[in-house]
Amino acid sequence: MKQQQFLEVLERDEAERRWREILDIAALPAETVALEDALGRVLAEDVRADVDVPGFDRSNMDGFAVRAEDTYGATEIEPVSLRLGSETIPTGVVPSQEVLPGTATPIATGGMLPRGADSVLPVEFTDVQGNAIVARRERVPGAAVSFAGTDIGRGETVVFRGAQLTSRETGVLAAIGRKVVLVVRRPRVAILSTGDEIVQPGETMRPGLVFDSNGRILADAVRELGGEPLFLGAFRDDEAGLREALGRALGDADLVLLSGGTSKGEGDLNAGVVAELEPGIVVHGVALKPGKPICLAASGRIPVVVLPGFPTSAVFTFHEFVAPVIRELAGLPAGFREHQFARLATKTLSERGRLEYLLVGLVRRPDGRLAAYPMGKGSGSVTAFSRADGFVRIPRNTEIVDADTEVEVTLLSRELLVADFVAIGSHCVGLDLIASALARKGFRVKLLAVGSQGGLAAALRGECDAAPIHLLDPVSGVYNEPFLDTSLRLLPGYARQQGVVTRAEETRDIEALLADPDLRMVNRNRGSGTRILIDQLLGERRPPGYPYEPRSHFAVAAAVSQGRADWGVTIETIALPAGLRFQPLQAEYYDFAIPADRWDRPAIRALRELLADRGSVRAELTKLGFGSREKG
């Protein structure tokens, strides 16, 4: 394929400066909406009260409207007698009689204070005796009374222009009787997914195609920012079709997003079509990782952005360049993100020359500080962004960030939600089942898949509640226990059957497969329990495909199913649903290393109870093909 190069790759700040220079970003025109539709909208005017709130002197409790001076000196021992007036004041009624000296008028909570009275005597401080009450407490002027205009005064500004309306503000607006409000019009953001490989959720999938997650992610991200997404659909790599769709988008929207087609290869037509606009492309290529191919452009003053096709790249570049523009169009400040400082859990390599965004999950260390675990699934990952707590910016000239380096983490949410149960280590579908059961018990669960050895290291540092591991000691042939020191306790989990998988038509045994030099294997990542088993199986042999090291059992099954490899090692519960032939190697134990000082924490007690109970969770594990830990 012929590949054009980026004309000029800019630093992030310079790219934004050039793009903003041709735009005229300001809040959109105002529109009037009903109060019931105003939640989340941005006020386009200062709102002043036309009434006093409360609109009259109001009683705060059930009791008697009195003149405070008539109660002076009243005590339990020496009460004061006051004559009852002939009127009773409920809510919603204007009093007709004045409270005269030496008298008291019954009044309900919220009732209008009558002329002459300046306080309310609570009913619990009185006794009624015939046509009089006995007051056993004295009052001061204003006691138990809300005076007219003390909450909101007529002419007072109650909500200021630019406020994003929450239930607090809409409640105030209702209190002053506003039925409609003037708000900034929502920015209309047109979204076009592009590429021959894109299919919409619900359509038929086949190898080589991907479901369109970007369209959904971007539409909902726009909505979260106060915009109105206009998803126009997915478009094939057809120049005429793209040009027509872009024209419709520019006629309807305040900002246009295209997803995919930024890298200037043949078939990537978005940049070419956008280049025909005026002024067209301002920036094509920013020194970012991920997100280098982003294309920043405009049609007149309408921003047009071509985001990279990989989900994580698209989301990062959207939040870096597009989200501030949407907020400003919506009448909001460009905004800032919440930050936390943390210690990087593992050594991280970066590419010199590009600002890198590193997704991380945050966990609390024993000393109270945060540890940041790189998610590490690449720019094509959908789940990495959804499960991360934030991201770290690694400067463009930094190649290595050592473990335990303090880093600034930009949070993806306004606050960091601390998990009740943190599991760091090897991932398994059985763990997902257990985590779901814990979540149903009310625990907030966080799972970080870093492999068995990475999890064991996290447990030794006290950074997790449990480290799921399946580590084989090649000397003793024992799983997991030889790797624990006195600071950790082993919680038995369940047995998994490891084996060699091939496509169904392959009939040879394991030794015959290993002896065939033309067969390609798929390996597993170093640090995983399965990798230890594979290296033990191979000895000194290094078949074709040995350097290919995906990080999950699912990836091994997919590589064999799709013909990119001829054999690999995975677990039975993954192999059989994939339609693969499975030849058992040996049972392994998937256990939990627990820091001893966390053994009695509520979440760990719940985990222990789930694993000890022979009820629903164990039954579901058995149904998935996992065996008893005791029986192996």
- Cα–Cα distances (Å) from 28 to 42, 185, 227, 320, in that order, read 11, 6, 11, 21
Residue 336 pLDDT class (50, 70, 90 cuts) = low
Q: Confirm if 520 and 540 have CB atoms less than 8 A apart.
A: no
The two tokens of residue 400 are 């290595």
pLDDT tens per residue across span 133-149 = 999 999 999 999 999 88
pLDDT score of 194: 86
Determine the Cα–Cα distance for residues 442 and 371; give it in Å rounded to an integer: 24
> H helices then E strands: how many in the chain?
16, 36
Give 475-492 pLDDT, tens digit per residue.
888 999 999 999 999 999
Q: Which two tokens stand for residue 161?
A: 């222009």
Of 137-141, 333-337, 370-374, 556-560, minimum mean pLDDT range: 333-337
Q: Is the pLDDT of residue 6 over 50?
A: no
Q: Which superfamily does 339-411 belong to?
A: MoeA, C-terminal, domain IV (2.40.340.10)
Distance CA 554, CA 587 (A): 18
Q: How far apart are CA 564 and CA 314, in angstroms?
A: 28
Identify the band that residue 631 occupies on the pLDDT scale cut at 50, 70 and 90: very low
Output the pLDDT for position 3: 36
Q: Provide mean pLDDT across the span 511-520.
A: 94
Q: Which residue's structure tokens are 């000029």?
A: 8
What are 168-184's pLDDT values in tens digits? 999 999 999 999 999 99
Provide the pLDDT for residue 203. 82
Domain limits, CATH 3.90.105.10, in the chain: 30-51+164-184
Does the structure show a pLDDT above 50 at 5?
no
CA 326, 47, 327: angle at the middle one, nearest 5?
5
pLDDT(358) > 80: yes
With beta carbons less than 8 A apart as the criterion, state whether 556 and 524 touch.
yes
* Nearest residue to 333 (alpha-carbon basis) of 342, 344, 325: 325
CATH topology of domain 425-632: D-Maltodextrin-Binding Protein; domain 2 (3.40.190)
Rg (CA), the chain: 34
Give CATH 2.40.340.10 domain extents, the chain: 339-411
Could you give the residue range(s) of every CATH 3.40.190.290 domain in the chain?
Answer: 425-632
Identity at 130, one-letter amino acid code = G
Query: Look-up: residue for tokens 């025109």?
Result: 29
- In the predicted structure, residue 471 carries a pLDDT above the cut 70: yes
pLDDT at 61: 95
Write down the pLDDT at residue 490: 96
Please, what's the largest Cα pairwise distance for the chain? 112
Q: Taking all residues of the chain, what is their mean pLDDT, rounded to a whole number?
A: 89
Instruction: Identify the CATH class of 30-51+164-184.
Output: alpha beta
Considering Cα of 425, then 429, then 430, then 431, what sign does the dihedral take?
A: positive
Q: Is residue 602 a contact partner of residue 420, using CB atoms and an 8 Å limit?
A: yes
Task: Determine the Cα angle at 401 with ends 424 and 446, to 5°.
Answer: 20
Residue 380 has pLDDT above 80, yes or no: no
pLDDT at 267 over 50: no
Burial 113-144 (b: 16+ CB within 10 A, else e): bbebbbbbbbeebbeeeeebbebbbbbeeebb
pLDDT tens digits, 99-145? 999 999 999 999 999 999 999 999 999 999 999 999 999 999 999 99
Sign of CA dihedral 216, 217, 218, 222: positive
Judge contact between 173 and 53, C-beta under 8 A.
Answer: no
Three-state secondary structure of 290-331? CCCCCEEEEECCEEEEEECCCHHHHHHHHHHHHHHHHHHHCC
Q: Please report the pLDDT score of residue 197 as a whole number.
A: 82
Block residue for tokens 């606009």: 277
Q: What is the DSSP letter of 77?
A: S
pLDDT band at 266; cut points 50, 70, 90: very low
Q: What is the pLDDT of residue 464?
A: 93
Q: What whole-number percentage of the chain has pLDDT above 90?
A: 59
The full DSSP string for 549-591 is --SSHHHHHHHHHTTS-SEEEEEHHHHTTTT-EEEEEEEEEEE
Taking residues 452-463, what's their average pLDDT? 92
Could you tell me the sign of the dihedral formed by the alpha carbons of 199, 203, 209, 214, in that order?
Answer: positive
The whole-angstrom separation of Cα 359 and Cα 372 is: 9
Per-residue pLDDT at 298 = 94
CATH fold label, 12-26+186-329: Molybdenum Cofactor Biosythetic Enzyme; Chain A (3.40.980)
Q: What is the mean pLDDT of residues 72-80?
A: 94
What is the tens place of the pLDDT at every residue in 410-433?
A: 887 767 777 889 999 998 889 999
pLDDT score at 450: 85
How confident is the model at residue 268, as a pLDDT?
64
All CATH 3.40.980.10 domain ranges in the chain, comma separated? 12-26+186-329
What number does CATH give the domain 58-146? 2.170.190.11
Task: With a cut of 70, say whether residue 14 has pLDDT above it.
Answer: yes
Residue 532 has pLDDT above 60, yes or no: yes
pLDDT higher for 123 or 265? 123
Residue 630 has what pLDDT? 59
pLDDT at 4 over 50: no
